[in-house]
Structure 1
Amino acid sequence: MDTVTLTNRHGIHVTLNPLGACWTSCVLPLSGGPREILLGSSDLATMLAGSSYLGASVGRYAGRIANARFAGHALATNQFPHILHGGPEGFSRQRWQPGPSPALAEVLPATGQTLRLHLHSADDDQGFPGNLDVEVIYQLADDDSLTITYLARTDAPTPCNITSHAYFNLNGGDGDDGLNQWLQIHASRYQPVGADGIPDAPPCAVNGTGFDFRTGKRIGTDILRDADQQKVHGYDHSFLLDDDSDTAVRTDQGVTLNRAAELHAADDRARLAIWTNQPALHLYTGQHLAGTPKRDGSAYASHAGIALESQYPPDSPSHGQAVLQPGELYRHVIRCEFDYA
């Protein structure tokens, strides 16, 4: 199976590829003409072999695990001495198979156009313990939403924290002005990290810092304002999502979702709202994107787009979190709601 495009009745086009279960394109039907809002590459294999992870499904563990160790297991190191996004041959580097996972046999309500892909990650894959069966379901509905659902089961305790690493630029996915978007994040705390991306302090309040996106602002307004940003050359931090009021919660597939963020184009003609059942939203402002190939063969600049990754904070397995147990079902739901004019 090669590239698959889902289309709803309003003309939103979502393009997907089984290599890395990758979300490669998202085109919105603006009144003045279609607008691509995802960063993407004409050379998917080369792009996924790099460090940008454009649109890929990353796992077993999205983010970093310190010293590439878990419960006595030595994990594959790809950002020495740590492991990042599941290791050098993590889920983003593997070809997923079409259809639902036979090992999961989960039935989901039919909502719009759907693509299901699955993957078997054997015991000791990238050093992780346990066999892990994984499925991703992309559902594009006529209410202009895309729901991404990750499911997994294991036969031994193992870190499990899978997410979509799509980069958004609502101004146009082939541009380089990702910081010129308006962003609101519903989080009162963020997780500081050291220069290596591993937490180096307890969660901090966003109040009075450049990490305060609670009322929304242009992403570039406070870029590099804080010492915590300067360590990693921008935003590369998990925001611990607030438990909002009932008006900010909806139920989808029997799962309670919290509104995590809103992103607007500079001209406000393309907008995105993200809902999730995960505890954190990781904001990465693409400071290492320079040189990543674009669709037209040229290269992106740094900060060309931003990643909004719903997940657990970095190094959670070292503290007993984000560990899937035998008999449990991992279910991570991301709902992307699009609005456009």
Structure 2
Amino acid sequence: MKKTLFAAGLALTMLTACAPQQKKEALTMSGLNPAKFETTIDGTKQVHLYTLKNKAGMEVCITNFGGRIVSIMVPDKNGDFKDVVLGFDSIADYQNVPSDFGAIIGRYANRIALGKITIDGDTIQLPTNNYGHCLHGGPQGWQYAVYDATQPDSTTLQLAMVSPDGDMNFPGNVTVNVTYKLTEDNGIDIDYNATTDKKTVINMTNHSYFNLNANPSAATMDGILYVAADSITPVDSTFMTTGDMMAVEGTPFDFRTATPLTDRINASDNEQIKFGRGIDHNFVLTTKGDDTKPAAKLVSPVTGISLTVYTNEPGIQVYTGNFLDGTVTGKRGTVYPQRAAVCLETQHYPDTPNKPQWPTAYLEPGQKYHSHCIFKFGVEK
């Protein structure tokens, strides 16, 4: 009897040893499991997580669902790598929890007044999803699109899609190409291109929520901010630009000298701060489209991590996470409180289609839309 039991046990051990082992999915440096980003949308559109790495050890993870930056691992002042953007651990959360975390925004980043644009004398009504205005392309903007993705090398991701005529009621079949390039000097170079077969409006940006303290469970308003801007485009109580320019001198919006955000966002006696519930404003850049000049710079006094933004765009939206409210749980089970991040969105000005005095956002057949942004990371000790 003992021999029989021994033989049975030995056979079971051999079968277990010989059985094919389930492959364990390798995690990214930021702790993401790529398997949690594998899905099919609308029966045919494949979603994946793509990882970019450079020789300096920096890692950027991006999903082709909305072209979203999911994580950014950069070294702090001690040489330890930290994740400095908000996001989710799985594609299910990106699908089910409304957010703009890390996304490519289009067709029109920011707001269009009352959702109305006029093209060649015809008024077009867009969907309204924010205080009676069209925000970030409407409720199903490009942050929810699935891009075709190609990764030609370890530092490059190419994304492409076609937004059909009538998408969120915007006219024109628009062909979009976005390239993410992780540079050897720790920059994320984002190149946006688009063409159309019918006159339309285009204004693209990336909506990453940066927490350079690498602690998204707490507000990050101790960050020191510089913005190359002499003025902002002020807003009304519905966050819509008035069409005016307001000089920043003598106001909480003067970041021409690097200043801690905490010194400015609680200026409750300022009407614009009240309207924005903090800072949520377009800054009129003095860089004049020169993407070799710093448009903005944010530095964490905790980690020493710095982020410098370069762009060919005329404006940048500075948003201090005022609408984060502790109801969203992100990566690693972290609850995101108010002001847990800062967004630096390079752009044409809000509502430019209805403000003819501002740089045009119209795109016609035969023209090419091109926008360029670099998020360059460094360390200040």
TM-score, length-scaled by structure 2: 0.80
Asked if residue 337 in structure 1 is aligned to residue 381 in structure 2, the reply is no
1:188 aligns with 2:230: yes
Structure 1 counterpart SS, 2:263: helix
Superposition RMSD on alpha carbons, in Å?
A: 2.0
Q: Out of 272, 281, 296, which is 1:237 matched to? A: 281
SS in 2 for 1:228: helix
Residue in 1 aligned with 2:42? Answer: none
Cα deviation for residue 44 of structure 1 reads: 4.2
Conserved 8 A contact 1:174-1:295: no
Do structure 1's residue 228 and structure 2's residue 275 form an aligned pair? no
Match of 1:282 in 2: 317
What 5-or-longer segments of structure 2 have no aligned partner?
1-46
Q: Higher relative CO (CA 8 A, sep ≥ 6), structure 1 or 2?
A: 1
* Counterpart-to-counterpart distance in 2, 1:80 and 1:179: 26
Q: Deviation per CA, 1:88-112: give whole Å up to 9, x if none.
A: 1110011111139xxxxxxxxx997
User: What is the CA-CA distance between 1:43 and the residue it aligns to?
Assistant: 4.0
1:14 aligns with 2:60: yes
- In the TM superposition, residue 159 of structure 1 has moved relative to its aligned partner by 1.2
Shift of 1:176: 2.0
Amino acid in structure 1 at the alignment position of 2:51: T
Report which of the two has the higher share of helix: 2
**In structure 2, how many angstroms separate the alpha carbons of the residues matched to 1:169 and 1:9?**
24
CA distance in 2, matches of 1:316, 1:78: 18
Distance in 1, matches of 2:158 and 2:276, equals 35
Do residues 143 (structure 1) and 178 (structure 2) align? no
Normalising by structure 1, we get a TM-score of 0.90
Partner of 2:34: none
Number of aligned residues: 323
- Structure 2: distance between partners of 1:139 and 1:32: 23
Give CA deviations for 1:109-145 in whole Å, capped at 9, x if unaligned.
x997100011110001001011111111000011221
Contact 1:27 1:35 in 2 (8 A): yes
3-state secondary structure, aligned to 1:259: coil
Q: Which moved more, 1:41-50 or 1:72-81?
A: 41-50
Letter of the 1:63 partner, please give it: N
| Structure 1 contact 259–273 (Cα < 8 Å) conserved | yes
Structure exhibiting the larger radius of gyration computed from Cα positions: 2
Unaligned runs of 5+ in 1: 101-109, 250-255
Pairwise mapping of residues 129-140 of structure 1 onto structure 2 (< 5 A)?
Answer: 129-140=171-182
C-alpha deviations, 1:35-76, integer Å up to 9, x for none? 111112224443465554110111100000011111111112
- Partner of 1:308 in structure 2? 344
Residue 224 of structure 1, CA deviation? 3.5
| Secondary structure, counterpart of 1:296 in structure 2 | helix
Query: Is contact 1:25-1:39 (8 Å) kept?
Result: yes
Residue 325 (structure 1) aligns with: 364
